[in-house]
Amino acid sequence: MDFLNSLISYDKQLLLFLHAKGSITWDGFWLFITNPIHWIPLIFLFFYLGYKSFGLKKTIVISLITSLSGVISLLIVTIIKNNIQRLRPINDISINNSIRVLTEQNDFSFVSGHSTVSFTIIFILFWLLKKHYKYAYILFLFPILFAYSRIYLAVHFPIDILFGMLLGYLVALVFYKIIGVSVLKR
């Protein structure tokens, strides 16, 4: 239990350190980045890259399976959040007086849905596209920015983000195998 308490204390300190680096100048940028609606053009880019690599039929099937992976990720996150019930930094009375509140959220913090879903999708896309595009690793810029925006806005602790990445990786691994068996082997 001491280890867990130490980890939580360190997590809070790290959040406060990272959050303190923010400024009014950057607030608008991070509020823009954190909104999933602003990433829609990127989804069209991903579809186009898939189309160029696999053709229309396979890309549609891959897109549907990848979308399903995102939905499953979100369901898993909801189950975890409702069972762990860790307060978000902006709602945690032990630190919220040290935080600039830029957005209101009242659900729970652990594990980050933004991090989990974005990393699920990007891992799948990276594994699919790395053979076709030399710089496919650039795709990871999207979930890294998306995840960091959650720390900047103090709606997630760093551990929430880290575990979201790990969960995203695991879900992506399952769905990548499904895509490999059902789409790419044809």
Residue 185 above 80 pLDDT?
Answer: no
Sign of the dihedral defined by the CA atoms of residues 36, 41, 47, 50, in that order:
negative
- Residue 82 is predicted with a pLDDT of 95
- At 186 the pLDDT is 61
**DSSP state letter for 98:** G
> Which residue from 156, 41, 53 is spatially nearest to 103, judged by alpha carbons?
156
pLDDT of residue 166: 97
pLDDT for the residue numbered 184: 73
Cα separation, 84 vs 104, whole angstroms: 20
Helix (H) or strand (E) holding 32: helix 24-34
* Digit-coded pLDDT (tens) for 149-166: 999 998 999 999 999 999
Instruction: Quick: pLDDT tens for 50-101.
Output: 999 999 999 999 999 999 999 999 999 999 999 999 999 988 888 888 888 7
Return the CATH number of the domain spanning residue range 2-184.
1.10.606.20
pLDDT at 151: 92
What's the CA gap between 163 and 145, in Å, rounded? 16
Compute the average pLDDT of residues 7-12: 88
Query: So what's the pLDDT on residue 125?
Result: 95
pLDDT of 69 = 96
Query: So where are the chain's domains?
Result: 2-184
Neighbours of 113 (CB within 10 A): 22
